[in-house]
Structure 1
Amino acid sequence: MRIRMEAVTDPGALDDSGLVRHALAGEGQAFRIIMQRHNRRLYRVARGILGNDAEAEDAVQETYLQAFSHLQDFRGDARLSTWLTRIVINEALGRVRRRRDLVDLSLLDRMEGGQARVLMFPGPSNPSDPEDDAGRARLRRMIERAVDGLPPDFRSVFMMREIEEMSIEETASQLGINPATVKTRLHRARLLLRRALAAQLVSTLKDAFPFDGLRCARIAERVMRRLEQAQD
Structure 2
Amino acid sequence: MQDSSSVDQERTRDNARWTAALTQPRPARERAADALYTYLLRAARSEIGRRSDISRLSGAERDDLAHQAAADALVSIMRRIPDFRGDSKFTTWARSFVTFEARVKIRQHNRRSLVHGLNSQDWDRLPCPRANTPEAEAEAIALKQAVMSAMDTSLTERQRHVFLGVVVHGASIEQLATQLGSNRNAIYQLMFHARRNLRRHLAERGFVHGLPSL
**Structure-2-length-normalised TM-score:** 0.41
Task: State the structure with more CA Rg.
Answer: 2
- Which structure carries more helix by proportion? 2
TM score, norm. by length of structure 1 = 0.39
Q: Which has the higher contact order (CA 8 A, sep 6+)?
A: 1
